Amino acid sequence: MATIVLFHHVQGLTPGVQAMAAELRAEGHSVHTLDLYAGKLPKDLEAGIRMANKIGEDKIQQRVDKLFKNLPEELVYIGTSWGAALAQQCAQQRPGTRGVVLLESFVDLDAEWSFGPWPEGVPVQIHGMDDDPFFAREGDLEAAERFVAAEGQDLAQLFTYPGSKHLFTDSSLPSHDPESRALVMQRVKAFLKDL
């Protein structure tokens, strides 16, 4: 079983994010969530982005670093949207990464502000909707396709789902897509079993 750090999206540690953590715990995994907003739940994406900007990158990084003080080095990172970027950064910059699941976001490894090279031998799953205004239309999907197709990336998987919803994997939000989320979770559970 894996020790997982699950990062929430910009709308905070919602009941939907907590439900995902509970579902993974029911599979026998140890799941650690970090409430980067100290209990606040922004009403929409725009409010969430404002809150993240108000807290600031330095304070967010301090909160993330504090969590790691009590965790083992070998971890699996899972994140949704903004949280996926945090998960990807940890995976690329911290030693001991066992695997990564990026939901609805992917930071281009070739971007000027990327987190560096992908760590050798670290498997990753990337999930997103094929017409999501953020994931599909802002370059994440295209970057993920290039990454998965690159030579030596046989441990990378990309799954797309029909639709244009963002945060479709959060069961507590109006953007939730139950059928697609169920398929995501089925694939994530299989991924974790193989680690």
Listed by start position, the domains of the chain span 3-193
Which CATH entry fits the domain spanning 3-193: 3.40.50.1000, 2.60.120.10, 3.20.20.10, 3.40.50.1820? 3.40.50.1820
Q: What is the pLDDT of residues 82-110, one digit of tens each?
A: 999 999 999 999 999 999 999 999 999 98
The average pLDDT across 65-70 equals: 83
List beta partners, residue 12: 9
pTM, two decimal places: 0.94
Backbone angles phi, psi at 154, to 5 degrees: -75, -5
Q: Residue with structure tokens 């993974």?
A: 24
Greater model confidence, 167 or 62? 167
Task: Give the pLDDT confidence score for residue 62 in this predicted structure.
Answer: 84
